[in-house]
Structure 1
Amino acid sequence: MVTKKPDQVRITQKKTVHMYAELWHASKCVLERGIENEKGSSWQFLSSIVLTAFAFEAYLNHVGKSLIACWESVEPLPPPKKFNLICELLKVDFPGEAGKRPVQTLTQLQDFRNLMAHGKTEQIEPQPFLCDAKHADARLGQRPLANWERLIRTKDFAERARVDVEEVLKTVHAARPKPKESLFSFGIGSGSAVVVENDGRNTMRK
C-alpha cells in the first residue's frame, strides 16, 4: 500500500525580551502582593526592592549597548559608574546632590542590592538603655534589627525605590536618540509557518 506522508509545517519564531521591563513588572507584582497581605509581607518588600535594583541595572545595560559599541568592556563596571557614564553621554543631569532624591535613593538601592547579593553574618549590639521595669518584658521582645531589616518592615522604601527609579529612567529615556522602544515595553515577537509539502513515497505492507 502506497501512502503519502502528511505535509509538515516549518515554524520560525523570534522574540525580543526587554529584561528591564520584565524585572520592573515583577517588582510591582511582588510589592502589590505584600501590600494586599500584611502577614509575612517583609519578604515581599525585600523581593520587590531587589527586583527594582535589578531592573535599574538591566536598563543601564539595555541603553548602554545602544550607545557604546564596546559596551561589553564597560558592562562589568558597578551600576553607579555605568549610570554616570550614560548620563554624561546623554547630557542628563539630576538636580540636587547625592544626598537628595532621587540620587539618594539610587545609592540606598545599590547598597541594599549588594548586601543581599553578598550577604554576610553580622552581629547586632545596640547600646544598652534604661526603661521602666514594668515594660522590660515588652522591650526584650523587640529584637534589634539590622539596617536592611528596617527597610523591609513596611512598604515605604520599596515604594520609594520604584517612584525614584521610574523618575530617573523616564529622564534618561527621554534623552535617548531614536529609534527606541516605549519605556517599560516588554518587547515584541514574530512567527511564521510555512507548509513543507511531502511528495515522497511511503510503502507499507499489510
Structure 2
Amino acid sequence: MAWLIPASGVIESYRDNMDGCEGDSPLLDSGKRIIQMPMLRGRQTVSTFSILFASARRSLKAARESEEGSFYEILNCLVMGAFTVEAYMNHLGHIQYGSKFDKFEKSNVWAKYRQLRRSCSLPILGIPDAYPSVGQLLEFRNTMAHGRTENNLIAMEIADKTIPIAIGQSALGWRAFVTCEYAEEGMAAVEALINELHDAAGQGKYPFLTTISGLYSLATIDP
C-alpha cells in the first residue's frame, strides 16, 4: 500500500509511529526488532533560481534591519541576485528547448537572454537595453568572480579627528556598488526581468512561488 504525502512529516510520522510501539506492532517483532521498513519514493523538483532569489532577499532584509554587518549582507544579495538571473535562464531554456539547450547553456548570459526573448516572441533586446540595472549586476558578479587585490589612491579633504573613519568608509573600486540602494534597484530589476520572461513563455505570473516541490509515496516493505 502507498500514499501520496508531502515530504515534510514523513520522518516525523514514522518516528511517532515507532515511539510507544508494543511487541505486537506490525513494525516490530516480539524482540522489538524492525520487521518492516518504510520506503519513500517520488520525484522532487528544486527551483534553484527561486532559492537563490530568496537568499538574496533575506540578505537585503537583514541589511535594512541592522547596520552592523550590512556590507556583507548587501554583497551576498548582489551576488545571489546575479546568480538568480542565469539560473532562471537555464531553467526556462530547458523548458523552451528541452535537451537542445544543453549545448547553449554554456553560452554567456547575454546571449542566453536574447535567445530566450526570441523564443518568447518578445522584441529582441540585450540585457543592458531591457534592464540596465540587471546588466550592471551581472557585470558586478563577473568582477567578483574574477576578484583580485586592489590598490586604490585616496585624495579627500577631512577634519583631523576623522582620518580613521574616512579611510574605513571610503568606497572605492567594486565596493562603491555595495549599497542598499544599488541592491534594491538591482533586485527589483531581476524580479521584473524574470516575471516578464515567465509570463511571455506561458509559465504563469508567479515564478518564485515554490522552491522545492514534488510527489512522494510511502510504503512499508520487508527489510
* Shared fold (TM-score, shorter chain, > 0.5): yes
For 2:127 and 2:106, the matched residues in 1 are separated by 26
Q: Report the counterpart of residue 175 of structure 1 in structure 2.
A: 200
CA-to-aligned-CA distance 1:143-201 (integer Å, 9 cap, x gap): 3433321121x3111111111111111111111135x6941122412221222257xxx
Percentage of identical aligned residues? 23
Q: 1:44 aligns with which of 73, 88, 91?
A: 73
Shift of 1:30: 1.0
Shift of 1:17: 0.4
Shift of 1:60: 0.3
C-alpha change, 1:20 and 1:72, in structure 2 (3 Å) is same
Shift of 1:65: 0.9
Aligned partner of residue 120 in structure 1, secondary structure: coil
> Could you tell me which amino acid in structure 1 is paired with residue 114 of structure 2?
N
Q: Per chain length, whose mean CA-contact separation is higher, i.e. which structure has more relative contact order (CA < 8 Å, sep 6+)?
A: 1
For 2:91 and 2:115, the matched residues in 1 are separated by 14
Query: Which 4+ stretches in 1 moved above 3 angstroms?
Result: 2-5, 93-99, 136-141
| Aligned-residue CA RMSD (Å) | 2.9
Shift of 1:11: 2.1
Q: Report the counterpart of residue 148 of structure 2 in structure 1.
A: 120
Q: 1:53-92 maps to which residues of 2 (within 5 A)?
A: 53-69=82-98, 70-92=100-122
Aligned partner of residue 95 in structure 2, secondary structure: helix
- Number of corresponding residues: 189
Give the TM-score taking structure 1 as reference length: 0.79
| 8 A contact 1:87–1:93 mirrored in 2 | yes
For 2:205 and 2:42, the matched residues in 1 are separated by 20
For 2:145 and 2:184, the matched residues in 1 are separated by 21
Aligned partner of residue 44 in structure 1, secondary structure: helix
Gaps of 5+ in 2: 1-28
CA-to-aligned-CA distance 1:38-91 (integer Å, 9 cap, x gap): 112011000001001111110000001111231111111111111111112212
For 2:87 and 2:127, the matched residues in 1 are separated by 24
Shift of 1:124: 1.4
> Could you tell me which amino acid in structure 2 is paired with residue 173 of structure 1?
H
C-alpha change, 1:136 and 1:95, in structure 2 (3 Å) is farther
For 2:116 and 2:153, the matched residues in 1 are separated by 41
Structure with more helix by fraction: 2
Q: Does 1:21 align with 2:50?
A: yes
For 1:5 and 1:52, the matched residues in 2 are separated by 47
Shift of 1:10: 2.4
Q: Report the counterpart of residue 156 of structure 1 in structure 2.
A: 181
Shift of 1:96: 11
Q: 1:124-139 maps to which residues of 2 (within 5 A)?
A: 124-126=152-154, 128=155, 131=157, 135=159, 138=162
For 1:24 and 1:87, the matched residues in 2 are separated by 21
Q: Does 1:146 align with 2:172?
A: yes
Q: Report the counterpart of residue 204 of structure 1 in structure 2.
A: none
